[in-house]
Amino acid sequence: HVRSRRQRQMCIRDSPNSIPALLRAPMTSSSTNAAKALLHFVSTDTYVQDTVWWLERAVIGLNLCPFAKSVHVKGQIHYVVSLATTGEDVLEVLREELQALAKTPAEVRDTTLLVMPHCLQDFLDFNDFLGDVEDVVHVLGLAGTLQVASFHPQFQFAGTDADDVTNCTNRAPYPTLHLLREASIDRAVSVFPEAETIFERNMEVLEEMGMAGWLALDVGPHDKGGANMAATAASDDNPPAQGTGL
């Protein structure tokens, strides 16, 4: 069930400069639950800030994706924090955000990051959930127009150990869905003649820095629940050196 290494997953087309994020509570018909969700409004800032920090320090800072800086400095990243606790509720938010992205000009919103700090914290569950995500894209008729990439604090390539540093290329502070425009990907690749080399270069960069170097970036979650999830990813049966991060 663990996702295999695929080059198209490697390059994270994200970045953030302006942070006015759309903060989403769990999708529910219960006004009581909705009211309770509003109590989390202030704390959702932490999830956006952690995601921005990860993008700036890791994705852009390590040049894991050469295409990221441009959309970052232009403020074309849209942030959505869903406090949903079930995959079904996340899918409802995903449907809305896919449709919104498709209707919004790319120069205004080129890509969307949907952060889910309270849902699908087990990577294998998250990995299975991605099949439902792809189904939503197809049902909406957006296949070939939009695609969804994924990141998770416990991300693990097939055939690797949990504490293999190369897994960090697809690790984010929280379970995250990245909504991308196919046209933007094609355009970016066309101006980067050796796009196929990005994956291997990223593997080399991470292997050289090691897990200690990755942890030193401090790009992990800064909420208690997310930190526990990240600590699990950074450890196998025998935990490596202590550190903050993924």
Q: How does pLDDT run across 47-106, given as a tens digit for each residue?
A: 999 999 999 999 999 999 888 888 989 999 999 999 999 999 999 999 999 999 999 999
Give the other-Cβ count within 10 Å of 79's Cβ: 22
Beta bridge partners of 115: 81, 176
Phi, psi of 181 (to 5 degrees): -90, 130
- Residue 3: the pLDDT is 47
- Residue 223: the pLDDT is 75
- Please indicate whether residue 45 or residue 104 has the higher confidence score (pLDDT): 104
* Residues in the chain, total: 246
Residue 158 pLDDT greater than 80, yes or no: yes
- Residue 224: the pLDDT is 60
